[in-house]
Amino acid sequence: MQIYLPIAEMSVSLFFLIGMGGAVGFLSGLFGVGGGFLLTPLLIFTGIPAPVAVASVTGTVVAASTSGALSYYRHKGIDFHLAFYLVLSGVVGSFLGVSTFSALRGAGQLDLVISLGYLIFLGSIGGLLVWEAVGSLIRTSKGKARPLKIPGKHNWVHGLPLRIRFKRSNLYVSVLPVLLIGLIIGFLGSLLGIGGGFILVPALVYLLRVPGNVVIGTSLLQVLAIMAATTILHSINSQTVDIVLAFSLMIGGVIGAQFGASIGQKLRGEQNRALLGIIVLLVALRFAYSLLVTPTDPFSIATFALGSL
C-alpha cells in the first residue's frame, strides 16, 4: 500500500515505513538511544530528500523516546534532577546546531559534515563501547567478581567546583560537566539529525559515573526533550518536517520500542553496550565507505525556491 508524503512530495510503501520504524524502534528501546542515527541514513538511502529525512526523524525519535522513557519511568529508571540540567543546556545546543545546519546546507557541505560527524563520533564511541564491554565480559568469565560500580568511582570530573547532589543517581558532582555534556549532545543531535543517545549514554557512564539502572532512562528523557525542541526549530527554519512520514515511522517505532525496552531490562549492562557498540561501528563503517570509495555518481542536484540564487 502506497502512501503520499505531502512535504517530501512523493509516495512510499506504508508497510515499508512501519517495518523500518519497528526495527529501529526495537533497537532504540533496547539500548536507550533515539534510533535517529540508523533511521536518517536509511530514509536517505530510500530516496527521501535529506532535509526532509533529518527533520522528520526528529519527530519520530520523540515518539520512540516517549514510550521508552515511560517504560523506564515505571521501573524508576530516570533521574529527573540530572535530566533537568542536561535538557537546560541541551536546548541551547540545539539552537546552535539548527543554525549551523542551515549555514552548511547553503554552502553545500552538509553531507560532508554529517558523514564526517557520524564517522568520528560513531567510530570512537562504538570502538570504546566494544572495547570496554569485551574487557568486562572477559573479566566476568574468568570468575572475578563484577564490581557494583565501574572502578574508579571518582575521576578528574568529580574534582570540579559547583557540586550538586543527584540522589537518584547516588552522585555528588559539579554541574559544569553536566551542562557541557547537555550542550554538546544538543548541538550534535540537531546538526547530525540524531537523538545523540549513543553519545550521551557513554558520556554519562564514563565521565559522570551515572549507575547503569538510571542511565538509559535519563538519557531517553533528555533525547525526548531535545528532539521535541529540534522538531519545532526545523518546522520553523526549513519547513521540512513531514508529519505523515514521521507518524508512519512512529507507529512501528513505539511498538518496536516496547519489545526492545523489556528485553533491555533483562540484558546485562556489558552485553547491552557491546551490542550497541557493534551496531554503532557498522554505521560508522558505512559512512567511512561513502567518504573514501569513489562514488558511482559524483553529481547531485539541490533545489531552491525561484529567485533565491
User: Of the ranges 121-129, 198-206, 243-251, 277-285, which one interacts with another protein (CB under 8 A)?
Assistant: 243-251
By CB under 8 A, residue 67 contacts another protein? yes
Question: Minimum distance between the CB of residue 286 and another protein, rounded to whole angstroms?
Answer: 14
Name which of 278 and 302 has its Cβ closer to another protein: 302
Specify whether the CB–CB gap between 284 and 128 falls below 8 A.
no
By CB under 8 A, residue 302 contacts another protein? yes
User: Of the ranges 107-115, 141-149, 193-201, 272-280, which one interacts with another protein (CB under 8 A)?
Assistant: 107-115
Only one residue has cell 557498522, namely: 282
Determine which residue in the list 85, 111, 180, 206 makes contact with another protein, applying CB under 8 A: 111
- Name 130's Cβ contacts closer than 8 Å, sequence gap at least 6: 274, 277, 278, 281
SS (H, E, C) 79-101: CHHHHHHHHHHHHHHHHHHHHHH
Name which of 141 and 300 has its Cβ closer to another protein: 300
Determine which residue in the list 141, 142, 156, 306 makes contact with another protein, applying CB under 8 A: 306
By CB under 8 A, residue 63 contacts another protein? yes
Q: Which of residues 261-280 bind another protein (CB under 8 A)?
A: 262
- 293 phi and psi angles, rounded to 5 deg: -90, 140
Question: Minimum distance between the CB of residue 6 and another protein, rounded to whole angstroms?
Answer: 4
Determine which residue in the list 247, 268, 269, 286 makes contact with another protein, applying CB under 8 A: 247
Residue 98: all three cell numbers together: 539548527
- Give dist(CA 64, CA 139) in Å, integer: 34
Q: How many CB atoms lie within 10 A of CB 28?
A: 35
Determine which residue in the list 27, 42, 66, 208 makes contact with another protein, applying CB under 8 A: 66
- Give dist(CA 82, CA 166) in Å, integer: 6
Question: Minimum distance between the CB of residue 241 and another protein, rounded to whole angstroms?
Answer: 5
User: Residues touching another protein: how many (CB under 8 A)?
Assistant: 65
Binding mask 33-62 for another protein (x = CB under 8 A): --------------------------xx-x
Closest by CA to 129, choosing from 196, 60, 201, is 201
Question: Minimum distance between the CB of residue 190 and another protein, rounded to whole angstroms?
Answer: 13
By CB under 8 A, residue 148 contacts another protein? no
SS3 state at 168: coil
Residue 206 vs residues 129, 146, 155, 215, 293: alpha-carbon distances, Å: 10, 17, 9, 11, 34
Specify whether the CB–CB gap between 36 and 194 falls below 8 A.
yes
Determine which residue in the list 23, 70, 83, 114 makes contact with another protein, applying CB under 8 A: 70
- Give dist(CA 231, CA 229) in Å, integer: 6
Please give the residue ranges that form the binding site for another protein (CB under 8 A): 1-4, 6-7, 9-11, 59-60, 62-68, 70-71, 74, 108-109, 111-112, 116, 228, 231-236, 239, 241, 243-244, 246-247, 250-251, 254-255, 257-258, 262, 290-295, 297-309
